[in-house]
Structure 1
Amino acid sequence: MRFTPKSELEQRCAKLQELLKLRDIDGAVIIQNADLFYFSGTIQRSHLFIPAEGRPVLLVKKSYERAVEESGLENIICLESLREMPAILQSYSHKPLKTLGFELDVLPAVQYLRYQKLFSPVEIVDASSLLRTVRMVKSSYELQILKEAAALHGEVFSMVRETLREGITELELAGLVEAYSRKKGHAGFLRVRGFNQDLVFVHICSGRNIVPSYFDGAVGGKGVGPSFAQGACEKPIAKNEPVLVDYGFVHEGYMVDQTRIFCIGELPGHLSRAQEVALDIMEKMKKAAKPGVASGKIYDLARQAAEESPFGKHFMGFPEPVAFVGHGIGIELDELPVFAHGFETPLEEGMVIA
């Protein structure tokens, strides 16, 4: 078990404080689990207050003992009632609080209204883009965890190659992959920021079942039914058809995400050629992804390469393609930057892209 070092937390909070000052926001209140883990090192039920100037404080409802054990922050206190928060936050701020930033991209409306009433007349503004900007560039500490996750990820794909056989159902194979992953320390779930983006951590679909579905991805799979219309179903896997394994491995809170194609036998000629085109596009993207290049330019390059091939209309899902070809990844599956048309985020060293 790995606890985030105090120095790492301090650097993250300091970066956020710089952005808060630039936006003239007096402090940020962090509640959502992914952000809470990133900035405090724990997901115990808490509010983390990071003032624009001064020391952060973690206000814990439950469990205080675990929060103290897991977090490297200096100021950790028990919060008996939300009514105490305005006075506590003010005591940790170096100036009167006029504006507070919250994660309005994920905060439920009912809670927003509650906080608005609680902190009145303080203005509540959206700080989610600032939090995501800080998280976008990974530190050497984070990159090491992601490399470890990638190594474990590779072991699971090797297991798929050894386990895949004609007649095994998608569901059976998915179950074996999930069990093997858990033995390797997988957390057993994927964190996704987007609303209604429920995901299993292993998508296995084959042949004609490699179809789009409701969630924001190029393919989805049939799933077990309309209540969860994604991923594996009871279809037996046959020879000479593509078997898609879209899989995220979560290690020490961080995930890597890959999709690979397997086949028992040989793919039909046009599908084999499509695989070659996809690999060629990926290589072009890797060569073009340099510091300073706008993230949207990588998407434009990939789309142009696809349209110059015989498979342009199939790029990123047919007949309903998604409008991106890559995304940041880390604590959440859908982090910044996004490789999509019109996005101008300059790429930086330390960004991790799926």
Structure 2
Amino acid sequence: MGFSGEHGRFSTEVYAGRLRAATAAAAEAGLAGLVITPGYDLRYLLGSRAQTFERLTALVLPSQGAGAGEPTVIVPRMELASLKDSAVLELGLAVRDWVDGDDPYRLVAESLCTTPPIATAVTDSMPALHLLPLAEVFGVVPVLATAVLRTLRMVKDAAEIDALRKAGAAIDRVHERVPEFLVPGRTEADVAADIAEAIVAEGHSEVAFIIVGSGPNGADPHHECSDRKLEAGDVVVVDIGGPYEPGYNSDSTRTYSIGQPDADVAKRYAVLQRAQQAAVAAVRPGVTAGEIDAAAREVLAAEGLAEAFVHRTGHGIGLSVHEEPYIVAGNELPLEEGMAFSVEPGIYFPGQWGARIEDIVIVTADGAMAVNDRPHDLLVVPA
């Protein structure tokens, strides 16, 4: 079971297993079923890249039990072609098409084979223009399917882990090329343009984001790029990523120094490096997401840098760049084998400089496996 390059998705068996798991989870939650409109959840369940329009497209996934209907895709007749690259046909799912003048929301209710009020969950990306008519037909406002699907999407299967490893290797190859772009006199935007070209050249389907924060701009964690020219002595934060077929994202940050850094920068960066290492070392099943955040934060606090760390330690990653689990203080979610997330502590000194180190890690049976292997040192490039 793995990636099917012909269709830009995984094998049919992968999606069949996900549908079974989602159906069982909905039944366990006491729901009549799930209604999933286009977005990451639909892509996860069917490999579909259909888009949301004013006309309803939805996967209707009834729960198991007596009288339950069969999984059905409701789709406008004029959008039938949007299913061709998904796993819908190979899975043998029922397809009910409709034309303008029909009531697609009634088709959803009929596919669930229950009578109102219908306790149903919908994907959190469903537009209000579809949610409200569904609520009227169901006789009750649906709940979000997030609680039903979150564990399925957080815990990656073997095919997803393989995809994330390939994405990580691809973005590592881009970071390997970054030093040649960091030339004094060039602008951050010049560097970002070169990186964008390299991201695609190294196998990504597109660019998701590029941050090139030089000098004082590096102190803004979400700076993108600007016309500021690189200078000798700059510390430069480079945070980059994008989707790698079948759509799983890379995300990696390394920090560079144009010329040898001064002693204070080197000293503070060394603390950050220890903090990132401590957080990765703390990862294992049963440890909470909040404890991973604390592992990084405690190292920085011990050296007086607690106030310089202004964001969470990490975020889950997969079809979306940011998804659960979130590695943040107060999150008591226990980690499970197969969860994938970033570990990216940073330190920021407004008006001066900033630094961040980020790897994507996958929880293993007894620890963590990083999908990135570029050096974590403050990487010095010629001035």
Normalized against structure 1, the TM-score is what? 0.84
Question: For 2:120, what is the secondary structure of its paired residue?
Answer: strand
Q: 1:58 aligns with which of 32, 53, 73?
A: 73
Question: For 2:35, what is the secondary structure of its paired residue?
Answer: strand
How far the C-alpha of 1:141 sits from its partner, in A, is 0.5
Aligned length: 321
Q: 2:243 aligns with which of 247, 250, 256?
A: 250
Who is 2:121 aligned against? Answer: 101
Give the Cα–Cα distance (whole angstroms) in 2 for the partners of residues 108 and 91 of structure 1: 21
Who is 1:353 aligned against? Answer: 341
Give the Cα–Cα distance (whole angstroms) in 2 for the partners of residues 279 and 130 of structure 1: 37
Q: Pairwise mapping of residues 264-279 of structure 1 onto structure 2 (< 5 A)?
A: 264-279=258-273
Who is 2:163 aligned against? Answer: 145
Matched-pair contact (CA < 8 Å) for 2:40–2:320: yes
Q: Which runs of 4+ in 1 moved over 3 A?
A: 81-97, 106-111
Q: 1:68 aligns with which of 84, 88, 108?
A: 84
Q: 2:218 aligns with which of 206, 210, 221?
A: 210
Moved more, 164-173 or 83-92: 83-92
Normalized against structure 2, the TM-score is what? 0.78
How far the C-alpha of 1:91 sits from its partner, in A, is 4.5
Give the Cα–Cα distance (whole angstroms) in 2 for the partners of residues 182 and 63 of structure 1: 29
Matched, 1:338 2:326: yes
Give the Cα–Cα distance (whole angstroms) in 1 for the partners of residues 110 and 14 of structure 2: 25
Who is 1:176 aligned against? Answer: 194
How far the C-alpha of 1:289 sits from its partner, in A, is 0.8
Who is 1:41 aligned against? Answer: 47
Q: Pairwise mapping of residues 1-354 of structure 1 onto structure 2 (< 5 A)?
A: 1=5, 2-45=8-51, 46-53=57-64, 55-61=70-76, 63-71=79-87, 72-75=90-93, 76-81=95-100, 83-93=102-112, 95-96=114-115, 98-104=118-124, 106-117=125-136, 119-190=137-208, 201-212=209-220, 219-221=221-223, 231-252=224-245, 253-315=247-309, 321-322=310-311, 324-354=312-342
How far the C-alpha of 1:94 sits from its partner, in A, is 5.7
Give the Cα–Cα distance (whole angstroms) in 2 for the partners of residues 13 and 274 of structure 1: 48
Percent of aligned pairs with the same amino acid: 26
Give the partner amino acid of 1:6: T
Matched-pair contact (CA < 8 Å) for 1:255–1:329: yes
| Deviation string, structure 1 residues 269-288 (Cα, Å, up to 9, x no partner) | 22212221111111111111
Matched-pair contact (CA < 8 Å) for 1:56–1:73: no
Give the partner amino acid of 2:25: L
| Deviation string, structure 1 residues 23-52 (Cα, Å, up to 9, x no partner) | 211111111421111111112243111111
Matched-pair contact (CA < 8 Å) for 2:167–2:204: no
Matched-pair contact (CA < 8 Å) for 2:204–2:242: yes
How far the C-alpha of 1:266 sits from its partner, in A, is 1.2
